[in-house]
Structure 1
Amino acid sequence: MARILFSGGKVFDGSGADPVAADLVVEGDRIVEIGAGLHGPEQVVDCTGMTLLPGLIDCHVHVTVSDVTIKSRVENPFSYQFYQAAQNLARTLAVGITTVRDAAGADLGIKKAVEDGLIPGPRMQIAVSMVSQTGGHGDGWMPSGLCLPLGVPHPGRPSGIADGPAEIRKVAREILRAGADVIKVATTGGVLSPTDDPRHTQLTPAELEVLVTEAAMQGRYVMAHAQGTEGIKNAVRAGIRSIEHGIYLDDEAIELMLANGTWLVPTLVAPVSVIRAAQAGASVPESAVRKSKEVIEVHVDSVRRAVAAGVKIAMGTDSGVGPHGTNLDELPLMAGCGMSPGQVLAATTSSAAELLGYGDQFGRLATGYRADLAIVAGDAYELNHLAANVSQVWKNGQLVARDGQLV
């Protein structure tokens, strides 16, 4: 196997400690040596003036969603989303993100296409569909009586709409059968759904407990779209692993998360992206724009208090709501909630890997870990410029992108 020496740069190991000058050797798809003044391999990558980061991880994307307008859902042919997904995955990989968790939309075929090398992209965990009650955040029913979900059900993406423990159990098993690595559930309303409110509580504790049980029996876990306070608490009490968004956290919710070791994936950029799209002229529903404006300030305050309390944070963007390839816009927003640059990068590497169950494989630059690298010019702590400074992306020991373009 070829040995590659990355020489002359600094290394951010993923732990949150500041970058230090070091060389790194990759053999095959693994990191085999880290230290100062390494020599030997014939292939040398000059990293002078650059910082080596672990491959970045986004814990909340929707690769089959490319915009949130009703127009696109009505006018695009059904299969168009899969070709867009290939483009979205490529754009995500090119900015240094080598692993993603798709939070509903991507089916097993998309994941397998990446794994088999048919299309370039980050490795994937998939939720397939989102479990939601009738009239809940995942129900695409419109006041006109038409149903326009973000993800139309198909044989590889079963409907997630269910009510009551028995229906919830059946739907969970169907989603797991379809290849889900994680079950996603909506325990509150949302910004984009037209008939509910982010503060509304959805599904009962008994329904949520069924999901956690079914996931655990298959060695899986549950992630919750949870924005309102009571829905967050219900999710945490039920044993759900991560709270996505977490807009309306109160002190009790934060204490429960700390006591249960629950993760927070803030997706701070999501409501910002809705407003940006509307300002750019996209036909975003007025209700979504209004709710986005209402939640931004309280969202930041909630995340700031969670960070201060020591809640475990992992990076996620809700990309699809915003453009794929702009994922790193989330990082300065996290810093604005009181996280140091080192903490932000750790949340985007080692912490994200731990949340996804990959903590012993990805997210760190250490011997034995998978050789996923994002090499950035200059100071990696300049989070506002990180995306523009990504010079090279390596996945499994192979160069996959240079200067924002796939190779």
Structure 2
Amino acid sequence: MRRTVFAGGLVFDGTGADPAPADVAVVDGRIVDVGVGLDGDEVVDCAGLTLLPGLFDCHVHVTISGVDMLGLAQKPFSYQFYEAARNLRRTLELGITTVRDASGADLGIKQAVADGLISGPRLQISVSLISQTGGHGDGWLPSGHCVPLMVPHPGRPDARVDGPDEMRRVARTLLRAGADVLKVCTTGGVLSPRDDPRHSQFSPEELDVLVAEASRQGRSVMAHAQGADGIKNAVRAGIRSIEHGIYLDDEAIELMLAHGTWLVPTLVAPVNVIRAARAGAALPDAVVRKAEEVVEAHADSVRRAVAAGVRIAMGTDSGVGPHGTNLEELPLMAGCGMSPAEVLAASTSSAASLLGYDGELGRIAPGHRADLVLVSGSAFDLADLAGNIRQVWQDGVLVVDHTARGEVS
């Protein structure tokens, strides 16, 4: 088997340690050695570059390309699948080699990537967003029309439920459809004009059923959770990750620490809603107002969670904002008290742990899959990281090469 050595660069191994000089040897898509002076059949010259593990984004929506409601309603149904192919490619070009889709992508999109029909990060999928009637995922409007962000179809079942029995049925339906993780709304949200992010949704009994059904199939649950009460309901039920966490209070933070619950902040999400509105997107006034109201509270909550030691994994809610701009999240995380090394660890090894890829991804270490990102300049220059990416390797295969033209597309 051919042995490829990435030689002469610095290595950020994903643990949070500073980059250090090292070579990385890869055989058959796996890292087999990390050290100095390694030999190989093929050498990739990494002089002046830093190697990072493939990055993660733990919260994307690959079938959505912006939140202009009128624009979404005017697109042909199948158009979303072609947009997904473009969005996945743009994400891969940023060095993000693994994503968790937080509703939208179905099993066909995941399989198309896995089979090489389209290029993109490997996918974990939740298929549909579980919402109560009148909840964050219910697209009903006062006119009587229903305009969901993601229209149900055979591969993406309707996931509006009320009561424990319906929750059990929908959980099983989504698992049958190929969900790797189940996503539930335990609070209102910014994009749903007729609810409040601070108000809780679903009862503890309903959430207990959901977690039990997921656990029986070896799956976990992620929760869109913005208000403190809904966050605490999710944590007590055993939900693995809190998405957004805008209005954390001290009790919620203590519960997350006690349960080992992850926080996926998506700090850039409300910023992107405000940007879209200013650019002319057709959004209800209530949505724009809520986005403007939550930005500071969101940053303060994440800041306090970081200081307390809550486990953090990187996620962006891309789809709400443009795909291909995901790395804008990293400086925002640093602005909440994380060091650059901690931000990169949250985007690599910590994210891998959240998604169940321990020992497989998120580290540059023997035995791990050879997802590697080669960057120029300082890897800790988070604001310029996207522009400094030179190459992206996935399972030991070069999938993005910006060196040929010297610029990022």
Q: Which range, TM-score by smaller chain?
A: over 0.9
What's 2:38 paired with? 38
* TM-score (normalizing by structure 2): 0.98
CA-based RMSD: 0.9
C-alpha distance in 1 between matches for 2:295 and 2:115: 40
Q: Confirm or deny: 8 A CA contact 1:304 1:338 kept in the other structure.
A: yes
Post-superposition offset of 1:405: 6.2
Deviations 1:83-120 (A, max 9, x none): 00000000000110000000000000000000000000
* Superposition misfits of 4+ residues, deviation over 3 angstroms: none
| Cα distance, 1:86–1:405 mapped onto 2, change above 3 Å | farther
> Match for 1:106: what amino acid?
A
Post-superposition offset of 1:402: 1.5
C-alpha distance in 2 between matches for 1:212 and 1:107: 21
Partner of 1:9, secondary structure, is strand
What's 1:200 paired with? 199
C-alpha distance in 2 between matches for 1:120 and 1:244: 26
Deviations 1:293-331 (A, max 9, x none): 000000000000000000000000000000001010000
Q: Confirm or deny: 8 A CA contact 1:186 1:226 kept in the other structure.
A: yes
**Superposed, which structure 2 residues align to 1:119-158 within 5 Å?**
119-158=118-157
Deviations 1:18-71 (A, max 9, x none): 0001111111110011111222x2321111111100000000000000011111
C-alpha distance in 2 between matches for 1:174 and 1:202: 21
Deviations 1:201-239 (A, max 9, x none): 100000000000000000000000000010000000000
**Superposed, which structure 2 residues align to 1:2-401 within 5 Å?**
2-39=2-39, 41-401=40-400
C-alpha distance in 2 between matches for 1:402 and 1:286: 42
Structure 1 unaligned regions, length at least 5: none
C-alpha distance in 1 between matches for 2:227 and 2:321: 22
> Match for 1:183: what amino acid?
L
Post-superposition offset of 1:143: 1.8
Partner of 1:361, secondary structure, is coil
Post-superposition offset of 1:340: 0.3
C-alpha distance in 1 between matches for 2:291 and 2:358: 33
C-alpha distance in 1 between matches for 2:264 and 2:73: 30
C-alpha distance in 2 between matches for 1:357 and 1:329: 25
C-alpha distance in 1 between matches for 2:358 and 2:149: 31
Post-superposition offset of 1:194: 1.4
Q: Confirm or deny: 8 A CA contact 1:142 1:194 kept in the other structure.
A: no
Q: Confirm or deny: 8 A CA contact 1:376 1:390 kept in the other structure.
A: yes
Post-superposition offset of 1:73: 2.1
C-alpha distance in 2 between matches for 1:301 and 1:194: 24
Partner of 2:160, secondary structure, is coil
Q: Confirm or deny: 8 A CA contact 2:68 2:276 kept in the other structure.
A: no
Structure 2 unaligned regions, length at least 5: none
> Match for 2:37: what amino acid?
G
Partner of 2:222, secondary structure, is strand
C-alpha distance in 2 between matches for 1:3 and 1:64: 37
C-alpha distance in 1 between matches for 2:8 and 2:387: 21
Partner of 2:52, secondary structure, is strand
Partner of 1:254, secondary structure, is helix
Q: Confirm or deny: 8 A CA contact 1:73 1:148 kept in the other structure.
A: no
Q: Confirm or deny: 8 A CA contact 1:16 1:343 kept in the other structure.
A: yes
Post-superposition offset of 1:282: 2.2
Deviations 1:367-397 (A, max 9, x none): 0100001111010000000000011000010
> Match for 1:242: what amino acid?
S
Post-superposition offset of 1:283: 2.1
Deviations 1:248-280 (A, max 9, x none): 000000000000000000000000011111222
* TM-score (normalizing by structure 1): 0.98
Q: Confirm or deny: 8 A CA contact 1:69 1:285 kept in the other structure.
A: no
> Match for 1:184: what amino acid?
K
Q: Confirm or deny: 8 A CA contact 2:387 2:408 kept in the other structure.
A: no
C-alpha distance in 1 between matches for 2:209 and 2:72: 32
Q: Quick one: percent identity of the two aligned structures? A: 71
> Match for 1:22: what amino acid?
A
